[in-house]
Structure 1
Amino acid sequence: MRRLTAPLVRCALALGLLLSPVACGAPAQSKVTIMVPWSGDEFDAFYTVVEAFERGHPGIDVEPQVTRALTQQLDAAVAADAKPDLAVLPSVGAIAKYQREGVLQRLSVDTGDYVQPFRGLGMGTGNGGSDVYAVPVKADVKSLVWYDAATTKKPPADWAGLRAGHYSWCLGLESGPTSGWPGADWIADLLLARKAGVEAYTAWASGGEDARWDQGPVHDAWTAWGDLVGGARKNASTTNFKAAARAMPACSLGHGALSAMSFDAARVKRGRYLYVSPAGRTLQVSADFVGKFTGNESADAFIAYLASTQAQGMWVNRPGFALSADRRVTAGHYADAVQGAIAAMLHSPAYTLCFSAADAMDPDVSAAFYRAVLEYADGTAEGPLLKALDKVQDALGPARSTSPPLCATP
């Protein structure tokens, strides 16, 4: 309504004079609805981009629909034929799911300047293909171990050294509807670090018949995580992830993406919080994607803007530590040097980037994975939990028959 104030005043005057309906030249407004899971700094950063888009497109209003239970809300909206125009999709598994259901629209957005595996997210094209069904609007590198440089010496940059060091871990697994994901990410990192890790990781994340949970590399990675964190598992299932990160330096180390750690931004910029990457040259990455669910043409304009270098460059310098997978948004675009150095890892051919395993799995398998992590932290032996996960996987079948690459070199 804010843009219509002046036209409506003119219209009222004309109606008063002529006592008959008139066309008053008010600009036609088009509304774009977008379902998002963000709050706090993340939402503020996103809304800065929304406002910039609306200034350049005065005929379009973007209406965010905020929900913490995005997957459940989106499923309900799809079932009720009340889909939003756009929605944030939290994983490549979700992209595959909605495309299989025939509700995700193909996009005419050029993602050629995005690094792999973020480019060409069109399932069923065999090689990543030219069909694009989702755009990564902000990315993350998850394979990082954080420490307070004022109180803790730089830790070893490998899992064996971290295990031998007997560090205390800031471990929290509670995170609303997706509680358990911090442990799932950690187990995935430990699998990637093994010999032939990428091959085993890809088979596991894709639900391959030869990738079992209760034996081999997946079982070994699971127990390695339990040994590594040790006593930190106590109460972890009910401790919020961000609260655990804020406990540093009472605990020595934390694991995860910078955007998830809830560090004070000023302290990060001053180099108070630093990281090592024990995963070596294979990094676990993720992104928040945006997909389209209706034929609203104004939604095409907004999603193209979200994918643009202009919007990406704006977003990364707002609070929240977002990263961009767009090659044109270089480390020099980042006002924070630590954030920029992590972004440079995304763009370097020295690294192999792998989407989070849980993100690539069928959403029902991911949910079971997260629950098993919580039960394991509470003291349940891994054997029955992993056998149960094998049964879930067998019932649902492979997550992706054809797909873009799960792992790729930028």
Structure 2
Amino acid sequence: MSAPESGRDAPGTRRRAVRTVTVVASCLAVLAVAVVAGVHVLGSEPTVTLLANWTGRDARYFRQAVIEPFERENHIRVDYQGSSAESQVLSADVETGTPPDVVVLTGPGELADYAGRQRLEPLEGLIRREDFSESWATPLNGHVYWFPLKADLKSIVWYPARTRPGTLREVARRPGQWCLGMGSGATSGWPGTDWIEDILLQQYGPGTYESWARGRLPWQSRQVKRAWTTWGRLVGAGGPDDLVRRALKTEYQKASELVTTDPPQCTLEHQASFIRDLGPWKKADGRYTPSARLIPGATADGAWEVSGDLVALLRATPQAEKLIRHLASAGAQRAWSAKESGFSVHAGAQPSAGDGGAEWHLSLARTLLDPDAVHCFDASDAMPPQVRDAFAQATIDFLADPGERHLDELLKNLDTLSSPESLTWLSSVCDHGT
């Protein structure tokens, strides 16, 4: 057989090569189409960004109970960011022009500040006003800019099941028996603000409390000053170094660990309802009593300090508006409340014994929804951010040095910070029952 001519293929060889190239080219074309289609599908999936403060277990529960059902039903992906420093994260994002679509913050005062700077979108048409009372979805300049997704009760004191209720008053008079942790990273000091707010509410009632929380009652008033000094005596401010040092160095979520030591290093904790879900109080089979029963000079009847995680809209995209409607629905709020990570105050999400929740959880939920009770939003959270932050720092300073002159200086400084007319104060902090 003669060899093929140099530089040329035999006819059969040339046909096989052509067929091979054609097959490979066809496969590459199909693969390219598939890749482009896949990229198109992934790239076109609507996305909504959400910033909140839940991390760890709470973030997992939130995603399972609330976010994943929304994603499945609407075919919208939720890009969730959880941060314990969400106020700082949000501020930075807003300043750089890259805010999240939806945010969940604990402070209506902070949200009012953003609304005043025209950073928030009104929620008319997205939520039903009748689903939430004004103390939770407070109108501002004729609009509603936020609503609660999760709520907690604050006017309560936790104690171990082994403690006889009849001895609580006696125990409460011993400063060393109070579990107190003031640490909370960038927001350290807020457990102290909770104490002072609740004392003022229980000693003087909702009217005085609301006037102060709205910037109308001076910090140097006798009522507010009395609340500070009452707290100081209860927890031993300026007392034994080891007691004050323990409070200043302990993170708030670790304060209850002292209940389970052998022997216990403390017995009572003035803390919001969420603390019952942490390990130490579960181990101690924690019970609660209204704080009014243990606060000296308490005269209020059925007044409760409350807090909430509030949803607001920063970018009104179609997918963000759908998420707002979902988060405001009774079904979504009930689903997360069933996880016992928090409570809903949605009018249509009231729990019942048939829901299968723990009795302590159902009891707290009923108190939050009681139409005959007075619910007052956490005062510091309702204040302008700069006042809130100074208040928290002042509680740390006072705990170390509760002297009258020092306290007068702290309160005078807070009055100065509260005086500028440019600050935005809320029109309502308390509801007033039926």
TM (norm. structure 2) is 0.81
Matches within 5 A, 1:210-229: 211-229=217-235
Matches within 5 A, 1:168-179: 168-179=177-188
TM (norm. structure 1) is 0.85
Aligned to 1:365: 387
Q: Which moved more, 1:41-50 or 1:336-345?
A: 41-50
Contact 2:219 2:415 in 1 (8 A): yes
Contact 1:118 1:325 in 2 (8 A): no
In structure 1, the gaps of 5 or more residues are 1-11, 126-130
Are 2:112 and 1:88 equivalent residues in the alignment?
A: no
| In structure 2, C-alpha distance between the alignment counterparts of 1:15 and 1:330, rounded to whole Å | 58
Aligned to 1:278: 291
Q: Which amino acid aligns with 1:154?
A: P
How far did 1:385 drift?
Answer: 1.4
Aligned to 2:274: 259
SS of residue matched to 1:87 = strand
Residues 362 and 294 of structure 1: CA distance in aligned 2, closer, same or farther (over 3 Å): same
Aligned to 2:328: 307
Structure with higher helix content: 2
How far did 1:337 drift?
Answer: 1.3
SS of residue matched to 2:269 = strand
How far did 1:70 drift?
Answer: 1.2
Matches within 5 A, 1:178-189: 178-189=187-198
How far did 1:335 drift?
Answer: 1.3
Residues 394 and 26 of structure 1: CA distance in aligned 2, closer, same or farther (over 3 Å): closer
Query: Paired residue for 2:256, among 231, 241, 245?
Result: 245
SS of residue matched to 1:235 = helix
| In structure 1, C-alpha distance between the alignment counterparts of 2:186 and 2:370, rounded to whole Å | 34
SS of residue matched to 1:82 = coil
Matches within 5 A, 1:320-359: 320=341, 322-332=342-352, 333=355, 335-359=357-381
Aligned to 1:54: 71
Larger Rg: 2
Contact 2:148 2:310 in 1 (8 A): yes
Contact 2:382 2:429 in 1 (8 A): no
Aligned to 2:157: 145
Residues 63 and 397 of structure 1: CA distance in aligned 2, closer, same or farther (over 3 Å): same
Aligned to 2:46: 30
Aligned to 1:9: none
Aligned to 2:90: 74
In structure 2, the gaps of 5 or more residues are 1-25, 293-300
How far did 1:276 drift?
Answer: 0.4
How far did 1:311 drift?
Answer: 1.1
| In structure 2, C-alpha distance between the alignment counterparts of 1:21 and 1:277, rounded to whole Å | 62
Residues 246 and 21 of structure 1: CA distance in aligned 2, closer, same or farther (over 3 Å): closer
How far did 1:174 drift?
Answer: 0.4
Count matched residues.
383
How far did 1:144 drift?
Answer: 0.7
Contact 1:15 1:22 in 2 (8 A): no
SS of residue matched to 2:394 = helix
| In structure 2, C-alpha distance between the alignment counterparts of 1:308 and 1:20, rounded to whole Å | 39
| In structure 2, C-alpha distance between the alignment counterparts of 1:387 and 1:34, rounded to whole Å | 39
Tell me the alpha carbon deviations over residues 193-229 of structure 1, each in whole angstroms, 9 at most, x when there is no partner: 123x222211211111xx2212310000000000111
How far did 1:143 drift?
Answer: 0.7
| In structure 1, C-alpha distance between the alignment counterparts of 2:36 and 2:247, rounded to whole Å | 65
RMSD over aligned CA atoms reads 2.8
Quote the sequence identity (%). Answer: 31
SS of residue matched to 1:287 = strand
Residues 405 and 201 of structure 1: CA distance in aligned 2, closer, same or farther (over 3 Å): closer
